[in-house]
Chains A and B, each alone.
Chain A
Amino acid sequence: MEKIRIRGLTKVFPTRHGEVAALQDLDLAISDGEFFVLLGPSGCGKTTLLRIIAGLERQTAGEVSIARSDGRKRSTAMVFQEAGVFPWMTVEANVGYGLRMQGVPKEISRRAARGYLEKVGLTRFARAHAFQLSGGMKQRVGVARAFAADPEVLLMDEPFGSLDEQTRVMLQGELIKIWEEDRKTVVFITHSIDEAVVLADRILVMTAAPGRIKGIVEVPFSRPRQPYEMRADPRYGELTHLLWNLLREEVLKAWAEEVGLDVRGV
């Protein structure tokens, strides 16, 4: 069943040097319960696409529709790159925020928050404030907050991008475990090939700006997944190689665009 349908999506930003297209005529269908990863060079319009799905930005042309299972549910909840944990609320209030804004009674939103705090291992920090948390803990709060809001679709914009590699690997493992419990549709942005392979059911490789579809790759690993063992599997190496092949040209293009160099020989 289709959960997200995107048709002819185009986003053009006006700049001082004329208009710049971030997305060009994008068509895409994401299934219900799918973990969908967007992989692409920086500046390829991944974040723009996610923000349009989230309703934080308006497209220039085309349409995005999300299939509703329940009229009362929010269509999306986002895990932001910089976590965005409100410093003025306790960790628990942060996690329960989405439900509270939807008018869910306090007792119920509290219980949901407690449940997800336990899943991300932050029960002890329920009464803490953001300044008392490490970067990894803040991202855990961001993940718990999005899950607790119980939307139709979860959006994640490089949530682990600013973390050190060890913390990042730990959080990927936790995310897989939580997600595999109820398999809500996820659209996840990353520029890490490893992260894409470990998490995704399907990976969309995007072209350098304007963002188009370069290729879509199915990840053959079954669920529940063990990322630690996956990385030792020969298919992991093949997949990584395939993705890097797709990506390389686009990364070089984006790089040439940025520094204004001719890198055709590289």
Chain B
Amino acid sequence: MFEASERATDVPAPVRRYRTVLAEQTVSVVSPLLCIGLWEVAVRVGLLDWRFFPAPSAILSAFTSLLTSGELLLHTAASMKRVLLGFLFGAAPGLALGLAVGLSRWVRAAVNPLVAATYPIPKSAIVPLMMLIFGLGDASKIALVAIGVFYLVLINTAAGVMNIEPIYLEVGRNFGASRLQLFLTVALPGALPLIFAGLRLGMGIGLILIVVGELVGARNGIGYLIWQAWTIFAVERMYVGLVVIAILGWVTTLALDAAERLLIPWKPRA
């Protein structure tokens, strides 16, 4: 005991810290692998019903066969295209209107009641309306995603502008910034952190809505893949769809993280 504690102090602090971090990372990697392993075993010994919970190995083989046939790429690309276009068509007007709402009390007075009244409507409830207006093609899915993204970017951008510390606007005015300069040098950069929060939330809701939109009335896409797997009772394919959506969520988060690091270099980071 005594000896051991003495030896521990011989290890320099940075090395000890490094070891702790390494141990943490190991746990983070091992824990999900362990769960997958347990799942596999549970299915094989019959503890889990393979019809509802196919073994990870079965899902993996379904994944590779879908991948090699090119089918998976087709569905993923179709969904990605809709999500990205919808994101663009929703975020751009959301950003513009959000800035206007944050900067002008008149725009705020005009827009606020409309947003307050329509924002609480679940976006999934307007899927039939979207199909009625935009048809069964890509347009209805893109519009659905765009509407979901629009609200989140609008609300967060407006909050971002309104939450800028008044001192910064005063500094701008005192140093002679024009209205346009005030907007470009204070309002926009000051609101960026919350704008990014809105973009993140928007991307999250976009992935939800694209699956919802594709479940009904689509001929491709991840949502279609999941729905079609249900109709033909190919449960492994259904799981492949879930895995792909999870991966898409992860990749888009990484992309937004990278964009944020590039655009907000002044944000303190751990």
Contact = CB atoms under 8 A, between A and B. Distances in A.
Given A77-B174, A78-B174, A101 B181 contact: yes
A28 B192 CA distance: 44
Given A56-B170, A80-B170, A82-B167, A87 B175 contact: no
Interface in A216-232: none
A142 to B, nearest CB: 9
A117 to B, nearest CB: 17
Given A84-B170, A101-B181, A131 B266 contact: yes
A76 interface: yes
B170 A97 contact: no
A78 B169 CA distance: 13
A88 B176 contact: no
A86 B177 contact: no
A145 B268 CA distance: 23
Contacts of B175: 74, 77, 97-98, 101, 145, 149
Interface size bracket, B side: 20 to 34
Contacts of B216: none
A101 B176 contact: yes
B259 to A, nearest CB: 16
A86 B173 contact: no
B173 A80 contact: no
Interface in B129-159: none
Contacts of B173: 56
Interface string B251-270: 00000000000001111100
A102 interface: yes
Interface string B228-270: 0000000000000000000000000000000000001111100
Contacts of A239: none
Given A129-B265, A131-B266, A131-B268, A86 B168 contact: yes
Nearest to B174: A78
A66 interface: no
A101 B181 CA distance: 7
B167 A84 contact: yes
A79 to B, nearest CB: 10
Interface in A62-104: 74, 76-78, 80, 82, 84, 86-89, 97-98, 101-102
Contacts of A76: 174
Contacts of B265: 129
A129 B265 CA distance: 9
B189 A88 contact: yes
Contacts of A101: 172, 175-178, 181, 185
Interface string A121-139: 0000000011100000000
A84 B176 contact: no
**Residue in B171, B174, B192 with the greatest tally of chain A CB atoms within 10 Å:** B174
A54 interface: yes
A131 B193 CA distance: 15
B186 to A, nearest CB: 7
B266 A130 contact: yes
A80 B266 contact: no
B174 A88 contact: no
A87 B171 CA distance: 12
B213 interface: no
B214 to A, nearest CB: 39
Interface of B: 165, 167-168, 170-178, 181, 185-186, 189-190, 192, 264-268
9 contacts: A56-B170, A56-B173, A77-B174, A97-B171, A97-B175, A101-B175, A102-B176, A129-B266, A131-B266
Given A55-B174, A86-B168, 11 more contacts: A77-B174, A80-B170, A80-B171, A84-B167, A84-B170, A87-B266, A88-B190, A89-B185, A101-B172, A101-B181, A145-B175
